[in-house]
């Protein structure tokens, strides 16, 4: 048996709660309820952690999560169970039939893949266009509201975003139908809790995991998935390369409460022994089917990097920095042929729509340095992605667009605006952007600056960057640092856009801060565990958690404590004293009167 330990247990100070639906009785949305002290109303928060943070859930990694969506999918009557493709040795990077994978297969039992019954689109986009509000859409609507029944507050600069006071299933449907949002949900990943990506919803974040040829194992990767969703990753991309990727992916998928994305060209290239020139449409197509049957919910496909774009990269400071992009560029040049992903894009859509795999249109030419930001190569590819977006819509295939990389602050908005324009507001999904090249060791931070800004400007999902970016493969701690940096960035974006629910938790936090409710502060923090441990480094005693000061300033200099005295004095005595002082002809009270 593969030994797999994953983190379970309630989130700090929180209870797993479930919200039902008025229209769909089988929809029950898991949420995190943060209980507060002092008679304060609890705060309901979006929860990506799945059953792992539910003490009542039985977790068995070898069985996987319950297939919550399976009945919804079957009830639609448009999919069929079938034998599926045989797993081949090369799927796990093995050279011949006799070789054994390093990672045992997930015990699927008699689980068989589903696909479209008659080749028609079984996508949320197809349903949305037929005016059907699916259970998934209803789930998403409830989830986005975080327990609100009305707007908490409207304050922000939305730059054209149109976020309603309260999200409804119908609104979710209309945004999907319009191509402005994507509900990533392969029919073969019924374990996922539906989520949505779009500028008129909460800003999402993605965490990349995956072994590389140099390091890491399946146990680590499954744990990284559970760990990253525990702290807020909305989707996870499995970027594994090397051997065992089929088996690792299956372990991840069967245990993942969030949609899983991949870059299929990585696996296809493994099947060709790493020789880009040996890539063929047939190998790639077979890989797509392999992954679709397993339950991958979105594929990054670098179909917009065209042969004619390659010369545009020759004088760049950092050339092509996307792995998939460089592979395709090499292929194109070798044969002097157009990118076969571009040529076969209709075929790709035809597969995607039969499983509801969304296509994440890859930015093979994203800039890898400030010097290359917003150059002709980048924008030429973006325009090609805009053409592919229209093809996806034609096929009823959900899609979103990948972007940024390294972009200085003053060039971020130009990126966002061009994407909105040429891609008809299809969701933008960006790496960072990093706002400087010299942040190595702190690139989670250098990129969180750009991520917060592009999120504000309209980007729907932010792909995290860890502190190890440019230097090595992230470990568990790095994954958490990356996730937290991006939770901060995404939330900052929601606040600035004026999301009608975003400030509720900030206000609860600040009120707790002003009232010295330390435990509430820890629990309301995005990183409850670190907040607690930092506090306890200096003041570990239990009593310090009710103290009206902290170690930053000590009791005498606590501005908040003094501020309470000021508030009391101002409320009680100000009027009286003012009256007295006014009678004596005090100057300053004239100013107050004038200001009022």
Q: Which of residues 142-171 bind a copy of itself (CB under 8 A)?
A: 156-157
Does 205 sit near a copy of itself (CB under 8 A)? Answer: no
| Other residues' Cβ atoms within 10 Å of the Cβ of residue 149 | 7
Q: Which residues contact 433 (CB under 8 A, 6 or more apart)?
A: 373, 404, 405, 406, 407, 412, 415, 447, 450, 451, 454
CB of 116 to a copy of itself, least distance (A): 33
Is 388 within 8 Å of 304 (Cβ atoms)? yes
Is 180 within 8 Å of 198 (Cβ atoms)? yes
Tell me the C-alpha distance between 69 and 302, whole Å. 30
Does 38 sit near a copy of itself (CB under 8 A)? Answer: no
Does 323 sit near a copy of itself (CB under 8 A)? Answer: yes
Q: Which is nearer to a copy of itself, 27 or 459 (CB)?
A: 459
- DSSP assignment of 318-385 equals S----HHHHHHHHHHHHHT---HHHHTHHHHHHHHHHHT-EEEE--TT--SSGGGTT-HHHHHHHHHH
Among 61-69, 100-108, 184-192, 404-412, the segment contacting a copy of itself (CB under 8 A): 404-412
Q: Exactly one of 397, 449, 462, 463 binds a copy of itself (CB under 8 A); which one?
A: 449
CA-nearest of 285, 357, 366, 355 to 319 is 366
Tell me the C-alpha distance between 150 and 217, whole Å. 46
Among 24-32, 108-116, 195-203, 367-375, the segment contacting a copy of itself (CB under 8 A): 367-375
DSSP strand E in 365-502: where?
Answer: 399-406, 428-434, 461-463
CB of 578 to a copy of itself, least distance (A): 8
| Other residues' Cβ atoms within 10 Å of the Cβ of residue 525 | 18
Question: How far does CA 58 lie from the centroid of its chain?
Answer: 26
Q: Is 503 labelled as part of a ligand binding site? A: no
| Touching a copy of itself, residues 491-550 (CB under 8 A) | 491-493, 495-498, 503, 505-507, 509-511, 513-514, 521-522, 524-527, 530-531, 533-535, 537-539, 550
Does 305 sit near a copy of itself (CB under 8 A)? Answer: no
R_g over Cα of the chain: 26
Tell me the C-alpha distance between 158 and 456, whole Å. 7
Does 318 sit near a copy of itself (CB under 8 A)? Answer: yes
Q: Exactly one of 439, 458, 500, 501 binds a copy of itself (CB under 8 A); which one?
A: 439
Q: How many residues line the site for a copy of itself (CB under 8 A)?
A: 138
Does 276 sit near a copy of itself (CB under 8 A)? Answer: yes
Each residue 253-272 as x (binds a copy of itself by CB under 8 A) or -, in order, gives -------------x--x---
Q: Is 364 labelled as part of a ligand binding site? A: yes
Among 10-18, 100-108, 283-291, 449-457, the segment contacting a copy of itself (CB under 8 A): 449-457
Q: Exactly one of 352, 388, 460, 488 binds a copy of itself (CB under 8 A); which one?
A: 488
Question: How far does CA 153 lie from the centroid of its chain?
Answer: 24
Does 456 sit near a copy of itself (CB under 8 A)? Answer: yes
Binding residues: 208, 237, 266, 302, 322-324, 363-366, 402, 406, 429, 470, 550, 553, 558
């Amino acid at each position: 048996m593969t030994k797999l330990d994953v983190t379970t247990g309630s989130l700090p100070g929180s209870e797993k709660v479930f919200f039902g639906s008025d229209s769909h009785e089988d929809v029950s949305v898991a949420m995190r309820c943060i209980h507060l002290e002092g008679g304060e109303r609890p705060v309901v928060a979006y929860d990506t952690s799945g059953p792992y943070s539910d003490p009542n859930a039985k977790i068995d990694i070898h069985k996987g999560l319950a297939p919550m969506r399976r009945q919804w999918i079957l009830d639609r009557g448009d999919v069929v169970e079938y034998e599926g493709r045989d797993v081949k040795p090369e799927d796990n990077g093995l050279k011949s039939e006799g070789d054994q994978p390093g990672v045992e297969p997930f015990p699927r039992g008699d689980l068989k893949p589903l696909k479209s019954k008659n080749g028609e689109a079984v996508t949320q986009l197809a349903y949305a266009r037929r005016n059907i509000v699916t259970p998934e859409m209803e789930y998403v609507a409830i989830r986005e509201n975080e327990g609100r029944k009305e707007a908490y507050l409207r304050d922000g600069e939305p730059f054209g975003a149109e976020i309603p006071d309260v999200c409804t299933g119908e609104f979710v449907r209309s945004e999907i139908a319009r191509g402005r949002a994507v509900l990533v949900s392969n029919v073969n990943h019924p374990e996922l809790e539906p989520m949505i990506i779009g500028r008129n919803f909460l800003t999402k974040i993605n965490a990349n995991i995956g072994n590389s040829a140099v390091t890491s194992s399946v146990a680590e990767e499954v744990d990284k998935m559970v760990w990253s969703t525990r702290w807020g990753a909305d989707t996870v991309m499995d970027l594994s390369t090397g051997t065992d990727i089929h088996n690792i992916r299956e372990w991840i998928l069967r245990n993942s409460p969030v949609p899983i994305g991949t870059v299929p060209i990585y696996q296809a290239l493994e099947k060709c022994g790493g020789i880009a020139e040996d890539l063929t449409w047939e190998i790639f197509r077979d890989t797509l089917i392999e992954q679709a049957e397993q339950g991958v919910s979105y594929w990054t496909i670098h179909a917009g990097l065209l042969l004619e774009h390659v010369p545009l990269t020759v004088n760049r400071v950092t050339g092509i920095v996307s792995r998939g992009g460089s592979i395709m560029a090499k292929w194109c040049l070798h044969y002097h042929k157009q990118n076969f992903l571009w040529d076969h894009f209709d075929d790709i859509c035809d597969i995607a729509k039969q499983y509801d795999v969304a296509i994440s249109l890859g930015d093979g030419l994203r800039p890898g340095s400030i010097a290359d930001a917003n150059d002709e190569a980048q924008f030429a590819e973006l325009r090609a992605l805009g053409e592919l977006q229209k093809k996806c819509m034609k096929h009823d295939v959900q899609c979103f667009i990948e972007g940024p990389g390294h972009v200085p602050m003053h060039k971020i908005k130009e990126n966002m605006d061009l994407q909105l324009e040429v891609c008809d507001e299809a969701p933008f999904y960006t790496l960072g952007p990093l706002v400087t090249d010299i942040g190595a060791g702190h690139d989670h931070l250098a990129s969180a600056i750009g991520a917060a800004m592009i999120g504000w400007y309209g980007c729907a999902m932010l792909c995290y960057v860890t502190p190890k970016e440019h230097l090595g493969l992230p470990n568990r701690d790095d994954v958490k640092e990356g996730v937290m940096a991006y939770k901060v960035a995404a939330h900052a974006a929601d606040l600035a856009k004026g999301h009608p629910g975003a400030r509720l938790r900030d206000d609860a936090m600040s009120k707790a801060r002003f009232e010295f409710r330390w435990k509430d502060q820890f629990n309301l923090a995005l990183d409850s565990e670190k907040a607690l441990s930092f506090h306890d480094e200096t003041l570990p005693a239990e009593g310090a958690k009710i103290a009206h000061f902290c170690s930053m300033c000590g009791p005498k200099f606590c501005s908040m404590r003094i501020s309470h005295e000021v508030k009391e004095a101002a409320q009680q005595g100000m009027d009286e004293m003012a009256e007295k002082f006014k009678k004596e002809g005090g100057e300053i009270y004239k100013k107050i009167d004038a200001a009022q």
